[in-house]
A and B are shown apart, each in its own frame.
Chain A
Amino acid sequence: MTRALRVTGLRVTYGPVVAVDGIDLDVREGEIYGLLGPNGAGKTSALSAIEGLLRPAAGDIVIGDIDARAHRLQSKAQLGVQLQATSFQSNLRLVELVRLFAGLYGVTLSPAQIRERLEEIGLQHDASKRFRELSGGQQQRFSLLIATIHDPALVLLDEPTAGLDPQARRQLWDRIERFRKEGRSILLTTHSMEEAQAVCDRVAIMDHGKILTVGTPAALIAAHRDDPQVRQAAHGEVTLEDVFIALTGRELRD
């Protein structure tokens, strides 16, 4: 099967602190892959290294068939990225931001095409609004539009539904599902086990910079169902969250 992303031995350090400790990731074409982990597990650092925001201490990152460490700009052109804390230039209007980011990816959109794109996310009447004037859900939809403005094969989403209400979250899941149907691959991080179970084909649970386990949500539940720690964490039917708690512990993280 063709790989959309292959990460081998990725290691990210901040001075003496090891944030990502030699992880391997393998995202297949058309797959939605979830990276789960408590705060400080290393998810965002791993994603940042793949996005080219951080220089890894070691490891290989291949996006499609491009070596991301050797060809940084080429590999960035293949990626659609939605960051955790997304912001755009506050003085620009949505239509200007679409034009700006399309231009940065070498895409030329006519006014009609821009209108069409905004219509897809229900913001056709807000084209002249500034980003800061949008609600949280609208901002999230708009950032996802910008992330996919160049039709990338691989989309990276860092906690895409954080802070969204249930309606907005469901809408986003629908969009993610639509991406899959269009043949895109998606790598997302999330704290929501419900989200991981609902949208991800496979998930990796990560803690202390290492990947603890990888599999489909159903397979992970089946594999760990009888672990004493999972039984202890479960309230009735075993869920992915019970497996997650059992593997990563109950103590609070920063």
Chain B
Amino acid sequence: MLTFALPLILLVATGLGKNSAVLGGPAFRISLALTVGLVSIGTVGYSLAIARDRDTGVFQRLRVTPAPTWTIMASRWIVQLGAVLVMAIVVLVVAAVFVGITLPPQNYLFTVLVALLGSAVFLSIGQAIVGLIASADTLNAAGRLLYVPLIGLSLFGDSDRLGMTVELVSRWSPGGCLETLLSAAMGATAWSGQSWGALFASFGYTVVFAVIGIRWFRWVAH
């Protein structure tokens, strides 16, 4: 529930107050809401769900059936991608109907596609976390700790207020790359070399974190 509520609250709240424009334009508000939703579903929600199922032996129960083991994990990814799809559509609908932010029709499609790519990035980060941390309690704490920098970094990719280094790190962080891609997908900025860079970096993040997560993943906690 919180996974869906938080992006919507942010979408509405960032438009309130006299200085709301300082936070960014309509495209920024949508992309911030989507990023928060993606991190919540992909990194925190997914890794916690996997860790809990591992702790309680749900995976072992599934592994003794004739289902190939890769399908057990793939089914989880499909469910999460479905949740992201629903969340992205809900955010875009609320943005259009209640906040008055509309996009050209093709930009809606691009935005949803980028959200799905972003979810692959954050799911693979979640997979890496659950691969490296065995205990569900430790993972819960780590997930919450990571939540802030993953979202925080995505905020400063287009701003040098915290210095050039922070801007550079922010721009090429997973959240920053997602911001760049969402901005282009919504038509707020033109597709550029930086967009291509963000696209390749996102694929790179997905592959690297997924490999870490799969290589070190254990079906049992102990």
Binding site for B on A (CB under 8 A): 51-53, 73-74, 76-77, 79, 81, 83, 85-90, 101, 104-106
**Cβ contact within 8 Å between B64 and A73:** no
Tell me whether A87 and B65 are in contact (CB under 8 A): no
**Candidates A79, A83, A101, A105; contact of B60 at CB < 8 Å:** A83
Q: Is the CB of B58 within 8 A of A105?
A: no
Binding site secondary structure of chain A:
loop
Known contacts: A87-B58, A87-B61. The answer to whether A73 contacts B53 by CB under 8 A is no
How many A-B contacts at CB < 8 Å in the complex? 42
Q: Which residues of B are found within 8 Å of A105, using beta-carbon distances?
A: 65-66
Binding site for A on B (CB under 8 A): 53, 56-58, 60-68, 219
The residue in chain A whose Cβ has the minimal distance to the Cβ of B71 is: A104
CA distance A84 to B64 in the complex (A): 13
Picked from A73, A74, A83, A90, the residue with its CB within 8 Å of the CB of B61 is A83
**Chain B nearest Cβ from A83, distance in angstroms:** 6
Residues of B within 8 A of A74 (CB): 66
Can you give 17 A-B contacts (C-beta < 8 A)? A53-B60, A53-B64, A53-B219, A73-B68, A74-B66, A76-B64, A77-B66, A85-B60, A86-B57, A87-B57, A87-B58, A88-B61, A90-B56, A101-B65, A104-B66, A104-B67, A106-B66
Complex CA–CA separation, A83 to B65 (angstroms): 12
- In angstroms, Cα B3 to Cα A133, docked, is 26
Q: Which residues of B contact A76 (CB under 8 A)?
A: 64-66
CB-CB under 8 A for A104 and B53, given A53-B60, A83-B60? no
Contacts A73-B68, A87-B56, A89-B53 given: A104-B61 contact, CB under 8 Å?
no
User: How far apart are the CA atoms of A51 and B54 in the complex, in Å?
Assistant: 18
For the complex of A and B, the 5 pairs showing the least CB-CB separation, nearest first, are A87-B56, A81-B64, A104-B65, A77-B66, A76-B66
Instruction: Kindly state the separation between the CA atoms of A226 and B62 in the bound complex, as whole angstroms.
Output: 47
Residues of A within 8 A of B56 (CB): 85, 87, 90
Chain A residues within 8 Å of B57, by CB: 83, 85-87
Which residues of chain B are near A106, meaning CB under 8 Å? 66
Tell me the bound Cα distance from A108 to B44 in angstroms.
Answer: 36
**B91 smallest CB distance to A (angstroms):** 24
User: Within 8 Å CB of B64, what residues of A?
Assistant: 51-53, 76, 79, 81, 83
